[in-house]
Amino acid sequence: MTNLEERGHLLTEQVNPSSANLDRLSSLELVDLFNQEDAKTLAAIASARTQLAQAIDLAADKLRQGGRLFYIGAGTSGRLGVLDAAECPPTFCTPPEMVQGIIAGGAGALIRSSEDLEDRAEDGEDAVVRRHLTDLDVLVGITAGGTTPFVQGALQAARRRGTSTVFIACVPAEQVEVPVDIDIRLLVGPEILAGSTRLKAGTVTKMALNILSTGVMVKLGKVYGNRMVDVSVTNKKLQDRALRILEDLTGLSRQEAGFLLEKSGRSVKLALIMHWTHLNKEEAQQLLETHNGQLRLAVDSLKNLAP
């Protein structure tokens, strides 16, 4: 592994020649420079497309078997993982334990800097042990510079337990080699503000996590077409979204959609099955379970009534 005391050679620590006069730029020039540099995130995602697809398939397979998906990181990387995990239950109605984020320093580190804790590899190992990771789980280690001991310790502990491992970093593999099942490198180049990986590295990491978690949920049947049919109806905004999905996919009026939603126990997925198949709630639930939560497969199995 790379010498942790000497990091100047890492891509994320190098100086960006395009921003050499950063402190002399006008506000408009600053915005234009950011826009120019942020465009590199799209190319980085495209270059890692195969590895991202592999991670989606791996995680979906493990979750389908009852496993869990964990993100682990420190600082910005840890916060991004926690954010992505926290957004899965309201978006896809997943149980909180299915996708979890682990950050060095715990919950307090989400709002107060605790970057010094990233140097403790033993804390990463302990996080894996305390959550009882198994061979059904997937651990995604996130570290822009690739060298964070907290993440490295967690990945090593996970591999010893037979857990599938994924690594997300913004430095090339030849700079930091990490033994994992899937190695995702998002090479966006040096930051506008040298070493500030909350910028391009943070942006491209958020993009990658968006793709990973959404892709996994699509594979798990949480989506019908491009609609979030497993949306958790927990507030007015999400209730409006649920009703619009029902109106659009069934042709029902707003009032009729509302009645159907309540009849289904506020489950968009069950409401759609009930409408398309004329089954009652219990029968619709049983049909859905038979097809592992896959709405399209469940409905298509009965007379192909889905539009």
Catalytic residue among 13, 118, 125, 191: 118
Alpha helices in 26-74 (DSSP H): 27-38, 40-47, 49-64
| Continuous segment of H or E residues that includes residue 284 | helix 281-290
Q: Smallest Cα–Cα separation from 166: which of 147, 149, 184?
A: 184
Q: Smallest Cα–Cα separation from 258: which of 236, 240, 237?
A: 240
Structure tokens at 154: 């967690």
Hunting for tokens 């500030």 — which residue is that? 196
Query: Which residue type is seen at 109?
Result: A
Strand ranges in 94-241 using DSSP code E only, listed in sequence order: 99-103, 138-142, 164-169, 182-185
**Cβ contacts of 120 within 8 Å, gap of 6 or more:** 104, 149, 150, 153
Q: How far is CA 149 from CA 120, 140, 152, 274, in A?
A: 6, 14, 5, 51
Catalytic residue check, 87: yes
Catalytic residue check, 122: no
For residues 119 and 121, give the distance between their C-alpha atoms in angstroms, rounded to a whole number: 6
Catalytic residue among 5, 13, 29, 87: 87
Half-sphere exposure of 297 (CA within 13 A, CB side): 13
Task: For residue 174, count other CB atoms closer than 10 A to its CB.
Answer: 8
Give the largest CA-CA distance in the chain: 68
**SS3 at position 140:** strand
Alpha helices in the chain (DSSP H): 27-38, 40-47, 49-64, 75-92, 121-130, 149-160, 200-219, 236-250, 254-263, 268-277, 281-290, 295-300
**SS3 at position 70:** strand
What amino acid positions are annotated as catalytic residues?
A: 87, 118
